[in-house]
Amino acid sequence: MAKVKIKQVRSAINRSQRQKRTIEALGLKKLNQVIEKEATPQVMGMINKVSHLVEIVE
């Protein structure tokens, strides 16, 4: 599987509980934190749900 790097660029404060849980499930804890995940359909779906809070880093 391909890897994808995800960076949190906006805070989860004042977001719905569902979006907060999605950020947490991706493994993001702090702003500007970069994590690397497998590009599975499940992970890509989570990224799409919180696309306004994260960006994909290459």
Task: Kindly report, residue by residue over 27-54, the tens digit of the pLDDT.
Answer: 999 999 999 999 999 999 999 999 999 9
Number of structural domains, the chain? 1
C-alpha span between 37 and 18 (Å, rounded): 20
Contacts for 48 with CB less than 8 Å, ≥ 6 apart: none
Res 9 pLDDT > 90: yes
Q: Residue 14 is part of a domain; what is its CATH number?
A: 3.30.1390.20
**If you average pLDDT over every residue of the chain, what do you get?**
96
Q: Model-level pTM? A: 0.91
Q: Which domain holds residue 34?
A: 3-57
